[in-house]
Every structure is written in C-alpha cells, then in structure tokens.
Structure 1
Amino acid sequence: MGYSEPVKDALIKLCEQAFLHSIEHNAELEDIPKREEFADLPIQASFISVDFKDKFISCYGTIWKEKKLHLDIVKNSHTAVRNTKIYQDMTPEKFRRLKISIYLLSELTELSFSDEKDMISQLKPGVDGVVFQWGKVYRTYLPVVWENTPNPQDFIAGLKRKANLPNDIWDSSVKVWTYTTENLIRPPSLN
C-alpha cells in the first residue's frame, strides 16, 4: 500500500461524494467520476467508519477483496450511511460534523498455529487486524480496535463475542487471518 497524497485526497473526496449522494438520494452513487488517480488502483478491500461528536456510530466494509478500491469505497460508504444511527435526521450540517475514517486493508495472511495460545502469541497488538472464522461464521476487528482492547486475549474474546460465539470455542476448524490497514481520515468540520 502506501498511496500518494493525491490518491488519498481523491479517495476521501469520493467517499464524501458517495456519502452525500446516499443521504440525498437514498441510493448508492453510480456516476463515479473518472479520475486519473483511480486508473491504477488495485482490487482491494476497505472499511468505512463514522463517528459523530467523538462517538462511534457506524462501521461497514469488506474483508475479502472483490472490486477496485474506489468502487469498494463507494459501496461501503453507502452501506455505512444506511447503517448510521443518525441517518434519519442527517443534514449537510451534520454531515460536515462527521469524522469519516477509511481503512484500506492489506492482503490477508492466514496464520498457522497449534492452538489458541499459539495463535494469540503471533498477533501484533496495535498493528494487526484479525479475521476469526469458525465454520461459516467469521468476523473481523480492525487494527484500531487495539486502542480500546490492548490485551490480545481480550481482543480475541471480544471478536468471538462479536461473532456470537462462546469464549471457549476452539477446534481444528478455526481459521485466523491478519492484515494491516492504511488509514485515511476526513476530520469533522468544527464550523
């Protein structure tokens, strides 16, 4: 990863445009601008997180890469808006006061481990995002979650709770992947 500033700026502007379109038209942005900065973007997964007045209100994204990065951001922006608790009374003024975080996911790396303790010992707190899968159930925590859950055992326990799995769930079918993110932030306007 490691995108140039013009590409990062273009992705943030596209995310804003997708948010506003979703708010105004209750639909995903389809007329995506053709920009030089988007020409060579890879197929890549992303997450969009929304905070209002320093409170988390929505996060949506894709774990498995499916489409070119800018198209993934448009889709996830629309879904994040629709899943935002304050969507019903969203105005342009409130939109300006949202903090929007775009997380660009690296390739997933599947971990090889003998047991849960071995898996946990391989995690890099503050760095790794983690995908936990048991059977058909899977969930992820972005690396930013380490800020509130710095203990690796608590991190994995929280991820299991998020997946509605018991804390003691563990067998040979468990799969775990890690990834890192490049983070783009659109800070709230204080005006």
Structure 2
Amino acid sequence: MALWRYAWDALGARWRAGWWRLAWGVQAGARAKVHRGVRWRGERGALVLGAGAELYPGTALLCTRGGRLRLGAGSHIAPGGHLLVGGQVLDIGDAVAIGPQVAIFCESNGTAAGAPFVAQRVAAPVRIGRNVFLGARVTVLPGAVIEDGVVVAAHAVVRGRLASGWVYGGVPAQPLHRLRADQGAPAAAAVAQDRQA
C-alpha cells in the first residue's frame, strides 16, 4: 500500500507542476514536482523550476510585483520552507538541498534606532550557488550570497557572503571547518549527472 501511495503522490506532484505552468505561468523543467500543500503567490512567470526541482508540502513562496524566484535543476525545498522574495530576486542554483523549515528573506524589517521597526524595510536579492546544503531551520537574511559548495548547519543565521568550500554554523553563521575533497564540487557534478539519467 505504501508503494502505491508514494507512486500516486509522485504522479500528483508532476501533474501539479504542469497545472502551475498553465494557471500561473510557472516555467517548470522536465520532471519538476510540486507537492500538495505548496502555497505560491506571485506574478505570471515569476517562478522558474529547473529540471527535476521539487517543492515539498507546506512550502510557502511569496513574490510581490517584480519579484522573481529561480530554483535550479535537481534542487529541492523540504517541507515547511518559507521564502519571502517580495519585489527582489532569489536565485537558487542547481543541486541545492534546502532543509525543513528553512526561511529565506529577500525583504525584512530594519533595526535602526530611533524609528519604529515596523516602519523600516530592508530589501536585497539573495543568491545561493550550486551544490549547497542548508540544514533544518536555517534563516537566510536579505542580501546574503552563498557561494558554490557550502554546507550551513541547522539553526544558523546567514547574512553577508559565505565563501565556497566551508561548513558554516552559528548565529550569525561563521566558518566551522573546510569541506573534505569528497564533499565539494565533484559531488555536485555526480548529483547533476544522476538527475539527468
């Protein structure tokens, strides 16, 4: 019974990606999947899903006027992800694993003294490179750049630029140690090749 349920859910996820193409102008590559319970708000054409990209249940995506979101080939957003793009650009590369309940903000409230925080707005694009893994409940703030081949430990808060080839953790995220040779870019190539097969 479980195998039948899995097959039915996978078929439904592919069908939903096709429906999203028609209903909301989503550009969805081959084998892209949108699972039940994903919420999307944005203009026609503002969402691009690469080949084999996958949005799991409970994911919320919000783009306002002019905002764009690209999820690269073979990348996924695990259940409960929250992506607030607003009017900015969120670019997520190929072979990226975004863990459960990750929050990515291209827009947020400011924290300058002397003015109400609710009246302040901070907005900047966010870029996540190829072969990146964001652990559970990571928070990514406006203007962050995560280069290729980076791991971010669970519960970290990312701001600024994270250099390639490192594992980061903490609040704010700091480099913990370099990735081993078998964890970096060669792994991304293997994942991408697997997804194409």
Q: TM-score, normalised by structure 1?
A: 0.28
| More contact order relative to length (CA 8 Å, sep ≥ 6) | 1
